[in-house]
Amino acid sequence: MGTTAKEEMTHFWEKNTKSNRPLSPHVTIYKCWGVTWGLLVAGGAGDASPGLSGAVSVAGVSLFGVAALLLPEQFPHYLALLRSLALGPALICSAKFALAFPFTYHTWNGIRHLV
């Protein structure tokens, strides 16, 4: 007669408790996290984890979408408002980069994962 899932799980945890092994390596065992770890966190694991670039892209698109629905004026009004602030080219270029980089990085990381 077969065992139930609960019995299998109980047997598994009893065996692991007796062997006194850790469940999995923890990040504290690494002396240096390195480039690979940083790329994994930034881009995601590929399967189900979006990473920071995916989370930032989703948050940015969601914020702009909600703003487009809730703000009372049309887009040209807000564009004229930004132009009237007379921000320097360095700040404008930095802002454009901050908006485009997460999306671009996440896209290329996804293509790399598919290849």
pLDDT digits (tens, 9 = 90+) for 53-97: 778 888 888 998 899 899 999 989 988 998 899 889 999 899 889
Helix (H, G, I), strand (E, B) or coil at 47: coil
Binding residues for heme: 106
What pLDDT, on the 0 to 100 scale, is given for residue 55?
A: 81
Identify the band that residue 12 occupies on the pLDDT scale cut at 50, 70 and 90. Answer: confident
Binding residues: 106
Give the number of domains in the chain.
1
Instruction: Assign residue 51 the CATH number of its domain.
Output: 1.20.1300.10
- Show the beta-strand stretches assigned E in the chain: none
Give the range among 14-18, 19-23, 44-48, 81-85 with minimum mean pLDDT.
44-48
What is the average pLDDT value for the chain, to the nearest integer? 81
Query: 53: which 2 tokens?
Result: 């670039």
What pLDDT, on the 0 to 100 scale, is given for residue 34?
A: 73
What pLDDT, on the 0 to 100 scale, is given for residue 25?
A: 67
pTM score, two decimals?
Answer: 0.54
More confident residue, 89 or 35: 89
Where in the sequence is the domain holding 90, given as residue range(s)? Answer: 5-114
For 60-85, the DSSP string reads: HHHHHHHHHHH-SS-HHHHHHHHHHT
Residue 47: is its pLDDT beyond 60?
no
